[in-house]
Amino acid sequence: MVKTMRIIRRLKGRETYLYLQHSYRRDGKVITRERYLGKTVPKNIEEIKSKLLRDAQDSLRAKLEQIRSDFQKEWRTIPPSGKERTLREIAITFTYNTNAIEGSTINLEETRTILEDQIAPNKPLKDVRETEAHAKVFFEMLRTQEPVSNELLLKWHEEIFKETKPDLAGKYRSWSVRVGPHLAPDWQKIRALMDRLIVFVNESTMNPVEVAVRAHYIFEKIHPFGDGNGRIGRLLMNFILWKNGYPMFITENTKKKAYYEALNKTEEGFRNYLVKRYIATNRCKPREV
């Protein structure tokens, strides 16, 4: 949601009147709200601005809460066998897309064959092993009741990469890295930055969708691992969503370019992009539940 707020002047006869105009983009449309101020800027202008912002946030929060409510209502009607089948389908789709974004050669149907039939295609063994391991961690994530912690994230990383990247698996990096135009923080600051991120995830009073999206962005900017940050970051985002009763969000490989462009923006820019995608996906696309 891209926001602009400005004071505009309108001439009526010989008199000039002031209005506070708040414009923001949501669901592909520009929404504009105005508040009459009078002939001069009132002393409590900052309070008026804050109220306009709160009203816009309340509207967004209501949409996100409705998504959660609708999802939970549907989910409660599904028998256990149906839930198990749905989660298997999510695991296949999520595993394929998150690995494909990082360059895996395994396609969607091959992912299904690996996970359902335990048949490996004629593809690099590394890609096959990471497909199997990611799906395993995904199901462990669904069952996990513990809060987000360094130990949990390190465990996920080790499980996914212990066979393919044993020298990196389950360890935060100990060297400097650059990701495109972004120079990641010095490795000596990683633990402190991750501790701060974990406090945010576990204690924030923001809507869980906002927490999930912002946590993903912050995690990617810290870039704590030598490799595999994208996959762990997307697991973290979906863990927060699932734990709080929201439908998960799969970043599709076909939208990789837009996703990476959003990651190169500010935190607010990434948040605006992904929250918009999340709302659009859960409003327009039927869920297999």
**29 and 147 within one domain:** no
In DSSP notation, 214-278 reads HHHHHHHHH--BSS-HHHHHHHHHHHHHHHTTPPP----GGGHHHHHHHHTS-HHHHHHHHHHHH
pLDDT in tens, 153-203: 999 999 999 999 999 999 999 999 998 888 999 999 999 999 999 999 999
**29 and 149 within one domain:** no
**253 and 119 within one domain:** yes
Per the structure, how many domains does the chain have?
A: 2
pLDDT in tens, 258-267: 999 999 999 9
**120 and 25 within one domain:** no
- With respect to residue 69, please indicate whether it lies within any of the assigned structural domains: no
Range of the structural domain that residue 218 is part of = 78-284
Domain end point (choices 30, 61, 92)? 61
| Active-site residue flag, 134 | no
Catalytic residue among 22, 134, 157, 223: 223
**256 and 176 within one domain:** yes
Instruction: Return d(Cα 58, Cα 33) in angstroms, integer.
Output: 14
**115 and 88 within one domain:** yes
pLDDT score of 14: 84
Token reading at 159: 């499980």
pLDDT mean over 99-111: 98
pLDDT in tens, 40-57: 888 888 777 766 666 666
